[in-house]
Structures are given as structure tokens and as C-alpha cells.
Amino acid sequence: MILLAGIMLWYFNTNKPEIDPEEITTEQIIDSGKIETQKTSTKTPVLENDSLQQIEYQNKLGAFALSAMNGAEGTSVIQNNLVKLTIDNRGGQIIEALIKNYKTHDSLPLYMIKDNNSSFNINFGTTDNRILNTKELFFEPVLTKNGDNSVLSMKLKVSESQFLEYRYEMKPKKYMVDFSIRSQGLSNVINSANPINLDWSLKGFRHEKSIRTENTMYTEYYYKSENDVDYFKADKEDNVNDLAWVAYKQHFFTSNLLTDTPFNSATISATDLVKDEQIDTVFTKKFELKTPLVLTAGELNYNMKWFYGPSDYNLLKKYEGTDLEETADLGWGIFGFLNRTVFYPVFNFLQGYLSNFGLIIILMTIVVRLIMSPLVYKSYLSSAKMKVIRPELTALNEKFPGKENAMKRQQETMAIQRKAGVSMMSGCIPALLQMPVFFALFKFFPTNLALRQESFLWAPDLSSYDTIFTLPFTIPFYGNHVSLFPILASVAIFFYMKMNQSQQANMQAPTQEGMPDMGKMMKYMIYLSPIMMLFFFNNYASSLSLYYFVSNLLTIAIMLVIKHYVIDEDKIHAQIEENKKRPEKAKSKFRQRIDSAMKQAQEQQAQQKKK
């Protein structure tokens, strides 16, 4: 090995390529503070004085041959404290987009664009019957400053007064980069009879630990078309009109292109590149945008914006009028409303005072459970009332046995409940009202950027699953690792359902003939639900499992307090007896229609029995 290393050192030192100083080009770097130039040893592919090649370029590129002959390989960099963009002279396009203050799950720099995973091209025809692609042509870079902003002008020249320009302008402390496409003096060069097509494609790099969570659940193609934001996941192509922006959204990070002049029509598509979630992969999905550009007075003139940065709701909602915050995926309808108006404000408030995100989740859980505690009390109160009248319902079953008396039994049951002031819905409604909270938080925690790579106890990243043991094999639907937070949450939900069983038994009327035994079904659910949760949440964000664990513990505590210190069954019994003595209220029209329908059904049943 020492001998081999010596031979390699000798070889590289004695075979260094000779570099002509005239062949050295420059990589120009500009940031929000200064412009500097660095030399590179990249050689231009163009021969300047070879007449044969000049003729070849002239035949191939026509009016744009000048840009090829004078073009040089090289890159220009504009950057601020948040993002760094590297733009290639060839094609004038971004070949590297680095988000500075974030790392991948394996602690590598987080690139949205690198190693040719992205392509930006304008395809157009010329008046001398040539079809050209900007990605193959050389642009001339000019770096300047506009106040505190960094400006990079990339020009594809026919002459000094005739050119196609890409203009990038980056502000300090902003992820959004102004980008414009305009032409000057090309009305007699670009053939308006041919379509001018803009194509932008990107293969999304994998950034997170769980490829299943990142790719399958939260990597999506978002777009705003006809003033409406929509999205789809993968393996789909769609044609849209009046397109204002597209967002290649990858769980916590997004690559966006916005235009001030909406594209009249466009074809958008996403393709899933993950063939097996168990195999390590580089890319998740391939995103594509194809749209024709329109000439104005024979020239191109589009003002656009690039956004390479985090898909953070708090950040994106600052771009008013764009609706970019909808790419943060907070859920639809009531679920998104709760996240925007309740949970994010509470989370942001707590974040202003605490730096430990595990404690923030616990405090947020306490706040949520305290707000929901009146619903728990209401449900328990209904359970206690049903427990008091349960003996009467049991006696009713004995008085009207058999299937032939089912309708009569039901009528008498409802009459007893009505006289006692007990409603089955009073127990169901509190449970239903808690469901939107459950589903809203199901979206809130896994998509909250603030939790990404934040540790708590044994979990190194609250936005991904925790691992206490790695299995030498993969269990279907479970994975190849053991997460502790889902186990704790499953144990907590088991004891919660065990306690809740007696409450549910009180809420149920005695089992009637021909009806399923809900008590037995509840017993099965006591064991089935924790197992389902264990499998389901093993690959989910540990923050979500932490929330459900703490939430179930608090619910158990609240139930115990209500049962032993708040609910007085003797008082409830006395109140029910008092209710029975009161004259029955006049039936509502809805109640009358139900009674009438039941009466008709009972009469039909009696006639069938006689026949």
C-alpha cells in the first residue's frame, strides 16, 4: 500500500497538465456584502481562431454563433446569509442551490440543486429556420450591486444591442430571488411563428431520515392556477391554465418558480423515483413544468421569482398575495383552520419563551387538553345519566322481548330518555368535536419545520421517528426499527380505553335481540387500537407520538378527577327524577316526524305479522 501510494504521488506530480494563462477563466462570486473573483483552471471548449469551427458554429447557431465563439466555461455565485445560488455560463441557469442554515438527516450540506439534477431551458426557433436551446448556449455574466442587493445579468448575445437576458437579483436575508427573462432587438431574430417553450425540471434530493414519510406523504407538486391552489403527489401529468406559480415541495423544503405574468397554459407532471422504500435512494420525485412563452411586440418580457428555501408556514405567509403558505400542508377545511388560527399561534407563543421543543409540545398538549376538558366532562356526565336510567332500560327489554317488539322497544326507550332529560347524542357530540383536533395535530407536528432536527430525551429529531433498537430484518407495515414513543403512546391509549370501557358501557342501552353486542366490540377495540397505533406511528414523527402519549395521560387524569371529585351520581339521580315529574315539552316538528315514521313502521310490522 505504501509503494502504491508512492507511485500515485510520483505520477500526479510528474504529469501535471500545463495550463495556458489565456485558458484560465474566472468564477465570480457575489454576496450581499462584496464582489470578489476567484480563478479556476476550467478550459473553454471554444476555439477562438479556428475558421472551420467558426463556420460550424455559424451553420449551427446562426445569429447566436457569436455567443458560442466568445463564450467561456465558468460560474457565477450570488449569495446572502440564507441561500447560495451558483449560475453556469452555459445556459445561464442555476446549477447549485444551497440552503445554508440547514443540514440533511446525515449532516451534509442541504442542496436543492446539484450535480445536474435540474434543467432550465428555453426552446425557440429563429427566422433562419434553426431550433435552439438556451441550455446549450453561452451567456455572458456581469455582476453588479443595486444598493444592498446583488445583481447578476446573464446575456446571450447576437450583438451588443441584441441579446436575451436572464437577470437575477438577490436581497439580503431573503430566500426569494427576483428573476426576469427579457430580450432586446430580437424581434427579427426569434421566429414568432414557432412556439417558444420554457422547460424546468428537477429531481428532488432526499433530505430526511424516513424516505417513506418524506416521499410518500409530504413530497408533492403544488401549483396556483386560475387563482386556486391545488396539488398532486406523483405519476400524474396535468394541463392547467393561468398558472401563477409552481412549487416542487419536498416535505420541509421547496423549489418554487413564480411569475408576475401568469402562463396562459402549462403542462405539469411529477414522477415517483423511489422503487423500494427499504433501499437507500438519492432522489425522491422528478418534477417538470412545460409552458409556452408569449412575445410582446416581438420581444420576451417576463418578471419572475425563484424561491429555494424551507416550507415553513411562518415564513411563507409573509409573502402576502401569493398563497405560498398553502404549500406548508396544514390540512384542508376545519383542520387547516385550527392549525392556522389556534395551534400555530399557541406554538409560536410558547416558542418565544422556551428553547426546548419537547417541553413546548408537552405544554401545548396541556393547553389543548384543558381546552377540551369541558367536552370530556360533558361525555362523562352523559355516561353517568345513562348509568342511572340503565335499570329502567333493562326492564324495558324484559317487558317487550323478541324481534316483533323491536319498534315498540325503541319507542319506549326514547320516551324514557326524553323524560329523564338524557340524550344519546350528548355523549357522541363531545367525542365528534374532538376529532378535528386529532386530525389537525396529525398534520401540525410532522410538517412543523421548527421541530426538524430538534432533540428531546432519546429522540434526536422530533420531526422523524426515534430509534432505540434496529432490527436485523423488516416487519411489514412496521419497519426495521423499534421506536419508544409509539410504544409509550400505545400503552397510554390502552389504559385510557380500559377506563373508557365502563363509561361506554353506561352510554349504551342494553343489548337488544338481533343487535350486535357493542360491549364485546369495545373489548376487542381495547386491544386492537393500541396495536394498530404501534404499527402506524412507528415510522411517524416522534413529536406526534409524544403528543398522543402526554395527551392520553392527561385525559386519564382528567377522567379520574371528574369521576371522583366532580360527578355526583346521587345528585344526577335526583335531577332525573325531578325531570320525570315535569310536564313533557311540546314535540318539535322533527320529533313529530320521527314518531310518525316509527308508528307507521310499527303498523306495517303488525300487518306483516297478521299475514
Q: Tell me, letter by letter, the H, E, C secondary structure of 212-248.
A: HHHHHHCEEEEEEECCEEEEECCCEEEEEEEEEEEEE
pLDDT digits (tens, 9 = 90+) for 58-112: 555 667 777 666 678 889 999 999 999 999 999 999 999 999 999 998 889 999 9
Which segments of the chain belong to CATH 2.70.98.90? 23-329
Spatial separation of the C-alpha atoms in residues 471 and 185, rounded to whole Å: 66
β 253-272/236-250 pair status: antiparallel
Residue 266: band (very low, low, confident or very high) from pLDDT cuts 50, 70, 90:
very high
pLDDT at position 460 over 70? yes
Q: Look at residue 526 and give its three-state secondary structure.
A: helix
What pLDDT does residue 421 have?
Answer: 62
What pLDDT does residue 187 have?
Answer: 85
Spatial separation of the C-alpha atoms in residues 511 and 415, rounded to whole Å: 18
The pTM for the full model equals 0.76
Residue 43: band (very low, low, confident or very high) from pLDDT cuts 50, 70, 90:
very low
Least confident of 172-186, 293-307, 422-436: 422-436
What is the 3-class SS of 348-415, one letter each residue? HHHHCCCCCHHHHHHHHHHHHHHHHHHHHHHHHHHHHHHHHHHHHHHHHHHHCCCHHHHHHHHHHHHH
CATH class of residue range 23-329? mainly beta
Q: Kindly tell me the sign of the dihedral angle through the C-alpha atoms of 53, 56, 61, 66.
A: positive
Spatial separation of the C-alpha atoms in residues 304 and 178, rounded to whole Å: 6
Give the residue-averaged pLDDT of 357-378.
84
Of the chain, the percentage scoring pLDDT greater than 70 comes to: 70
Spatial separation of the C-alpha atoms in residues 214 and 446, rounded to whole Å: 10
Least confident of 26-30, 195-199, 246-250: 26-30
The distance from CA 402 to its chain's CA centroid, rounded to whole angstroms, is 54
What pLDDT does residue 600 have?
Answer: 67
What pLDDT does residue 233 have?
Answer: 86
What pLDDT does residue 82 have?
Answer: 93
What pLDDT does residue 58 have?
Answer: 56
Spatial separation of the C-alpha atoms in residues 224 and 553, rounded to whole Å: 42
154-163, 287-296, 507-516, 548-557, range with greatest mean pLDDT: 287-296
What pLDDT does residue 256 have?
Answer: 95
Q: Which residue pairs from 362-367 have beta carbons closer than 8 angstroms and sit at least 24 positions apart in sequence?
A: 362/546, 362/550, 364/547, 365/547, 365/550, 365/551, 365/554, 366/550, 366/554
Least confident of 298-312, 441-455, 508-522, 523-537: 508-522
Q: Contact, 489 vs 545, CB < 8 A?
A: yes
Spatial separation of the C-alpha atoms in residues 402 and 276, rounded to whole Å: 56
